[in-house]
Amino acid sequence: MLTATIMEDKKALEPFWEFPVPSYDEWRQVTEKSLKGASFEKKLVTKTYEGISLQPMYQQKDTQDLPFIDSLPGQSPFLRGAGAVPSKEKAWEISQELTTSTPKQFNLVAKHDLARGQTVLNIVLDEVTKKGLNIEEAKQMVGQSGLNVTSVEDMKTAIEDIDLANIPVHIHAGANSLPVLAVLVGAAKNNNIEVSQLQGVVGMDPIGQLVENGSIEYSLEECYNVMADTVKWSTENAPSLQTVLVEGTPYHNGGSSAVEELAFSLATGVEYLQALTSRGVSVKDAAKSIRFVFSVGSDYFMEISKLRAARILWSKIVTAFGGEESDGKLTIHARTSSWTKTKYDPYVNMLRTTSEAFAAAVGGANSIHVSPFDEPIQKSTPFSRRIARNISIILQEESHIGQTADPAGGSWYVEVLTNELAEKAWALFQQVEQTGGVIEALKAGMPQQKVAETKTNRLNNISQRKDIFVGTNMYANTTEKAIDVVPEDDTKYIEQYVSEKLNAAVVPVQFTDESNTVEQALQFALNGASVADLASGLGKTESSLVIEPIVASRGAELFEELRQANELHAKKQGETVKVFLANLGPIPSHKARADFTAGFFEVGGFEVIRNNGFMTSAEAAQAAVDSKASVVVICGKDESYQEQAADIAQSIKQDNKEVSVMIAGKPAEEDEVNYRNAGVDEFVHLRSNCYEVLRKLQVEKGVVKG
């Protein structure tokens, strides 16, 4: 029966066999002809921020000489993942960040979310806890960016009735993790959880904190000593618990390219390997203890390739340190990008995070945090966390992404892109090493300069709307209503919590060289020492190492500021800045440019007055004057401009010279001179820097100061 079906299919295809399969060269000739003299490279080859030229078509021959193209899942260099077969139980851990401020409320939120699909207890700590500050020193900072825990009792409350023997933890503990690790382990003991069963990561990343803040509270030497002690302790006592983090997110959120995020993260990983192995930790144990954190942005295929390239390069590094091939397996936690999220039209963030989470999953992340859609606006709500959490659940349970090892494997495009990305990241990584390593590079400002250059390029493209943020710098929703800002449930508890912690007794902490500092810290914590006491005992001082930080931002901020300024101005003045479209001729004659112009100004928060067009210059000018708009844009065909634009501009200026008159489109140089002489102030077109035009207009109209 099957044979008969195949024969029937072949017979059905016979009529098409007469058509030859075109070669790439033949396709290229036809394509270039259709471009009518335009450059193939300029029109169809895409240049990325990574310095990679993306071709419009890839072929099998492009992959023939690629290294590792024949590698298998579970085999070095782990291009296709660390496991030989995909896990049927969990393709990746659902590791949603929980930012609740106080232990009791955190416990309620954590139990709620863990019962509804979350699989990792991802605790975001506030800066007071991460930096080991006393409550008295930083009352206003308590709980502002995450959970505050001061002691074993606080942590015990936070994890009450949560089975850490079976639920992994993910905690970024700052530059020095020892105080937080001690109170967590102490709380686990008090909750009758075997320390050996702890899994996940309680990690320190002093270099990441240095990049974010420009300084850290400890000397690097002290951090590295503690890092080595935590690795030795976890290897012996909690082998499934990692204790070192390498955060690529500070570079990504600063506007970096994928190459820069990879290279500087790998350089940090090398610094930590050197610090650990020089303090008696084996390469095997050191590599096993480290977890990388990458942000995943909107460039879908680039982000897939970034995670694949990271595994290749880390395997190469670990082998160079003398590790076995199996030691080069890389654990990756992916976080959907903060850079790509917007305050306006925030529900679009749901779509962005879906695409980004999909890329992280296809790229082989071991755990994923999907940003709640309201992340740029407020702390997450039960609704926003539920939607974010369900994105991972749907990808796993309904889309079955995790049932295939390396889903992108074999794609000629992805394989070539992975290799090119790996090569460029390795070249930049070597530049860092040639300067003396990541610390010397940061002192010299090399990573900061690279990231700043990329960010500048990004912002220029965003300003010109070459890079699109839907709902922000393109396709603005002018009828949008702001989402209701919902105060975090535990906000009202912070004041009470702080009052309970004030004037707490200080427990003297004095570390010695007689035993591992983790064991000592744990005993101090069980005896009542606070996180601040432990940090003080470690000799917490302002480090002499100070660098230029890489400041986190979001790509949409420029246009958000424009809209916020106009909204504030409207609130104060009782009306918005109006833009009147002086449309010339019937709808087909002006629609294209009128639609473009409306979108151009609406992204800045200007009120656009539309109409169906005017047949004469006098009608258009009078309607513009009657509208009382302070900005008029003439929209129509080039021929109409030559006949009517000068008259319209002159009439409007005669009535009120303060009105800004513009033309939609870019006229010839001679025509532009004539229009300006008639009173036209500006021209808006596809090549205009939208942000600069609108910002200048806001200054002219008194919306903002120059």
Looking at residue 544, what is its pLDDT?
Answer: 78
Residue finishing a domain among 463, 487, 507: 463
Q: Give the pLDDT confidence score for residue 153 in this predicted structure.
A: 96
∠ at Cα 151 (332, 514), nearest 5°?
A: 80
User: At 695, is the pLDDT very low, low, confident or very high (cuts 50, 70, 90)?
Assistant: very high
Domain boundary among 463, 491, 512: 463
Q: Do 435 and 569 sit in the same domain of this protein?
A: no
Last residue of a domain, one of 432, 463, 494: 463
CATH number at residue 235: 3.20.20.240
At residue 268, φ and ψ (nearest 5 deg) are -65, -45
Which residue in 51, 71, 74, 28 sits closest to 417, CA to CA?
51
Lowest mean pLDDT of 27-31, 451-455, 632-636, name the range.
27-31
Q: What is the pLDDT of residue 505?
A: 82
Average pLDDT, the chain: 94
The answer to whether residue 472 sits within a structural domain is no
At residue 502 the predicted structure's pLDDT band, cuts being 50, 70 and 90, is confident
CA distance 19 to 36: 26
Both 184 and 300 in one domain: the answer is: yes
Q: Is the pLDDT of residue 542 over 70?
A: no
Angle among Cα 293, 298, 300 to the nearest 5 degrees reads 90
493 in a domain, yes or no?
no
495 pLDDT band (50/70/90 cuts)?
confident
Question: Has residue 706 got a pLDDT over 90?
Answer: no
Q: What is the reported pLDDT for 86?
A: 77
Cβ 335 vs Cβ 357: under 8 Å: no
Query: Could you give the maximum distance between any two Cα atoms of the chain, in Å?
Result: 93
Coil, strand or helix at 169: strand
Quick one: DSSP state of residue 508? Answer: P
What is the rounded average pLDDT of the residues 300-322? 98
Give exposure, 209-242, as e/b (b: 16+ Cβ within 10 Å): bbbbbbebbbbbebbbbbbbbbbbbbbebbeebb
Summarize the confidence of residues 85-91 as an average pLDDT: 75
Identify whether residues 442 and 571 lie together within a single domain.
no
Average of per-residue pLDDT across 626-655: 96
Residue that wins the pLDDT comparison between 498 and 268? 268
Mean per-residue pLDDT, 56-65: 94
Distance CA 666, CA 113 (A): 55
Please report which confidence band the pLDDT of residue 501 belongs to, taking 50, 70 and 90 as the band edges.
confident
Band of residue 10 on the pLDDT scale cut at 50, 70, 90: low
- Region 493-503: mean pLDDT is 85
Give the pLDDT mean for 272-291. Answer: 98
> Is the domain of 576 the same as that of 434?
no
Are both 101 and 213 inside the same structural domain?
yes
Give dist(CA 568, CA 566) in Å, integer.
5
Average pLDDT over residues 229-257: 98
191 with 332, same domain?
yes
Residue 416 in tokens: 């070539």
Is the pLDDT at 611 greater than 90, yes or no? yes
If asked whether residues 444 and 571 sit together in one domain, one would say: no
Distance, in Å, from the CA atom of 91 to the CA atom of 364, rounded to the nearest integer, reads: 9
Looking at the structure of the chain, the number of domains it has is: 2
What average pLDDT does the segment 159-175 reach?
A: 97
The candidate with the shortest Cα–Cα distance to 433, out of 319, 264, 277, 279, is 264
More confident residue, 428 or 26: 428
Residue 17 scores a pLDDT above 80 = no
Q: Which of 297, 405, 413, 404 is nearest to 357 (CA)?
A: 297
**pLDDT above 90 covers what percent of the chain?**
86
DSSP assignments along 590-634, one per residue = HHHHHHHHHHHHHTTTPEEE--S-BSSHHHHHHHHHHTT-SEEEE
Does some domain include residue 489? Answer: no
pTM, two decimals, is 0.94
Give a yes or no: residue 486 inside a domain. Answer: no
Q: How far apart are CA 597 and CA 475, in angstroms?
A: 12
The Cα 467–Cα 298 span in angstroms is 11
In a domain, 622, yes or no: yes
Whether 422 has a pLDDT exceeding 90, the answer reads yes
pLDDT of residue 233: 98
Per-residue model confidence (pLDDT) at position 87: 73
523 falls within a domain: no
Confidence at residue 462, expressed as pLDDT on a 0 to 100 scale: 98
Q: How confident is the model at residue 53 (pLDDT cuts 50, 70, 90)?
A: very high
Q: Which of 263, 321, 197, 701 is nearest to 442 (CA)?
A: 263
Same domain as 295, residue 429: yes
> Are 562 and 429 in a shared domain?
no
Same domain, 564 and 457: no
* pLDDT band of 1, cuts 50, 70, 90: very low
Query: Is the residue at 522 inside a domain?
Result: no
The 8-class DSSP code of residue 540 comes to -
Number of H helices, E strands in the chain: 28, 16
Structural domain boundaries enclosing 626: 557-700
Task: Give Cβ neighbours of residue 539 (< 8 Å, ≥ 6 apart).
Answer: 218, 219, 222
457 in the same domain as 335 = yes
Which residues lie closer than 8 Å to 248 by C-beta, 6 or more apart? 261, 262, 264, 265, 292, 293, 294, 295
Question: Residue 588 sits in a domain of what CATH number?
Answer: 3.40.50.280
Flag whether 16 is in a domain. Answer: no
Identify the CA nearest to 109 among candidates 149, 144, 157: 157
Does residue 301 share a domain with residue 414? yes
Burial profile 96-128: b = 16 or more Cβ within 10 angstroms, e = fewer: bbbbbbbbebbbebbeebbeeebbbbbbbbbbb
Residue 485, pLDDT score: 76
Backbone φ, ψ for residue 582 (5° rounding): -85, 85
Query: To 10 degrees, the CA torsion angle through 682, 685, 689, 694?
Result: 50
Mean pLDDT of 327-351: 97
18 vs 356 pLDDT, higher one? 356
CB 363, CB 304: distance < 8 Å: yes
